[in-house]
Amino acid sequence: MVINIQRPLVSTSEAKEPPVLSVEGVSKKFCRDLKQSLFYGVKDIAADLTGGRRHNHRLRRKEFWALRDINFQLQRGQALGLVGSNGAGKSTLLRILSGLIKPDTGLVRVRGRIAPLIALGAGFNPILSGRENIYANMSILGLSTREIKRRFDDVIDFAEIWEAIDAPVQSYSSGMAARLGFACAVHIDPEILLIDEVLAVGDIKFKMKCHQRLAELREKGTSFILVSHNPYHVLNVCDSSIYLKKGELVLQGDSQDVIRQYEADLRLDGTEKALGWIKLPEKSAAESLGLDILSICFNDKNGNRLDTLQTGEYAELCIQCKAHKPVENVNVGVMISCSSGGGDRVVSITSTADHQTIKLTPGYHEISMKMPYCCLLAGVYSANIYLKEGVFSFDKVKSFRFQVDSEQSTSRSLFYQPRSWEVNS
């Protein structure tokens, strides 16, 4: 689902306002060893109490920097994307910004109320009722009891948990807990919202409602920091982004530039595994289920192998196989997911659904799926390819990785749309 939060018109006078959030030289270290970590924790508390020295700038044994010298600012009404691969430090940064953990060095200055939408519902006490949790949660987020009372009905209406409001939260479904968490956070009218992939939860109706509410908040001037593995979400919501890599801020600026760099790095990281070609050892008749995949690759129009596909260019997917017996109608399935876009499935094709009858005699064959143009955007993809007949599965390749490059301008599109323009007057 694409988040579509309208961009407010930020006037130049607003742009000159002091930032609502300022992060200066923030670093955070963690320890890989739990026992050692507890020992350091006790040592640090003792040093704080006795006025001794804490070695915040130095790594001790088994420690590592989860974040290193992070600097950026967030302006009123600005939506900032936060991208980086697994373990880059995104959640750690959000946890520091929301005050859940303290940085080892540096300073975070916040002007206004900050509402974290990190792991929805995680802040609830499971044995308390929904009602009690609303009071506890919203007061932690900075509202007085009177203000909570005033907004209480709106929160329940938004979360749609009228009947369950006095039941303990542990009896809620994950969707109900998610709705309640979101409702609490957006009803405190925060100046800054921290959103950590949470828009991926809930049913479609709830997502629409969340997006609507976020759009309203943004219109009012609320600032956002959005963490997402999905580049389209970031591009659709955020004008600017920051890119974290192994705890360091390696790039900040226009979202388009930042995402381009992030995706290029992802493709580079996967070069070895994303060859666009796979060859499997031939099976004996005893090992085979009747039809085996021998290799998979992409070819161009002249039958030359393509290591990388190009957006908008011709390509054919070729599956070399060996039939040990006659097969009346093979169903070839091709399911493609985007590795750089959070693993979302983007293509799902079967030859049976395309009304193709593929009849094979015993021997070697090549089945090709010809694509007049590749509609995938630049990125790394993983395909699940299978050969079946009815419900019987002959053979499958679970993760055929390949890469798509692009010289086409696809801007904020989800796929490449071939086009030409004409004016008739």
Ligand X SMILES: Nc1ncnc2c1ncn2[C@@H]1O[C@H](COP(=O)(O)OP(=O)(O)OP(=O)(O)O)[C@@H](O)[C@H]1O
Quote the least distance from Cβ 189 to ligand X, whole Å.
27
Nearer to ligand X, 34 or 391 (CB): 34
Which of 422, 103, 402, 98 is CA-nearest to residue 247? 103
Nearer to ligand X, 32 or 396 (CB): 32
Cβ-contact 94, 108 below 8 angstroms:
no
Quote the least distance from Cβ 87 to ligand X, whole Å.
4
Size of the site for ligand X (CB under 6 A): 10
Nearer to ligand X, 66 or 79 (CB): 66
Quote the least distance from Cβ 63 to ligand X, whole Å.
9
Segment 66 to 95, residues that bind ligand X, using CB under 6 A: 66, 84, 86-92
Nearer to ligand X, 194 or 334 (CB): 194
Nearer to ligand X, 31 or 192 (CB): 31
Nearer to ligand X, 84 or 333 (CB): 84
Binding residue (CB under 6 A) for ligand X from 30, 152, 314, 373: 30
List b or e across 192-217, with b for residues whose CB sees 16 or more CB atoms inside 10 angstroms. bbbbbbbbebbeeebeebbbebbbeb
Give the per-residue contact string, 48-67, with ligand X (x = CB under 6 A; - = no): ------------------x-
List b or e across 249-270, with b for residues whose CB sees 16 or more CB atoms inside 10 angstroms. bebbeebbebbebbbebbbeeb
> From CA 251, how far away is CA 312, in angstroms rounded?
29
Q: Which helix (H) or strand (E) holds 81?
A: strand 79-83
∠ CA 327-383-294, rounded to 5°: 45
Segments of 174-219 assigned E as strands: 192-196
Quote the least distance from Cβ 114 to ligand X, whole Å.
18
Nearer to ligand X, 92 or 339 (CB): 92
Quote the least distance from Cβ 21 to ligand X, whole Å.
18
The amino acid at residue 372 is P
Q: Which helix (H) or strand (E) holds 356?
A: none
> From CA 82, how far away is CA 91, in angstroms rounded?
10
Quote the least distance from Cβ 84 to ligand X, whole Å.
5
Quote the least distance from Cβ 227 to ligand X, whole Å.
7
Q: How many CB atoms lie within 10 A of CB 13?
A: 7
Residues that bind ligand X (CB under 6 A): 30, 66, 84, 86-92
